[in-house]
Amino acid sequence: MPENEAPRPAPTTPHTPTTTERGSFTYAHCPCGWRGPARRSRDKARTDAAEHTSGS
């Protein structure tokens, strides 16, 4: 890190993604601003959320 760059603060928003349904699609989203792609499979949307939480 360059000397003139301030250290970045640790994120304060917890990663607690949830899923939301819109019509025939389900998507995962998180309070940190991340949003997964729309999926027809609820299970795949949950997998997207779990992968986001694990950092994969």
Residue 14, pLDDT score: 77
Q: What is the pLDDT of residues 7-53, one digit of tens each?
A: 655 556 678 899 999 999 999 999 999 999 999 999 999 999 999 98
For residues 35 and 19, what is the distance between their CA atoms, to the nearest angstrom?
10
Question: What's the pLDDT at 56?
Answer: 56
- Whether the per-residue pLDDT at 55 is higher than 90: the answer is no
Sign of CA dihedral 30, 50, 25, 35: positive
Statement: the pTM of the whole predicted model exceeds 0.85? no
**Per-residue model confidence (pLDDT) at position 48:** 95
Residue 38, in any domain of the structure? yes
Asked if residue 45 is part of any domain, the answer here is yes
Which range of residues forms the domain containing residue 28? Answer: 18-54
Task: Tell me if 26 is assigned to some domain.
Answer: yes
- For every residue of 11-39, DSSP letters joined together read P-S----EEEEETTEEEEE-TTS-BPPPB
At a CB cut-off of 8 Å and minimum separation 6, what does 43 contact? none
The tally of domains found in the chain comes to: 1
- 42: its two tokens: 């609820």
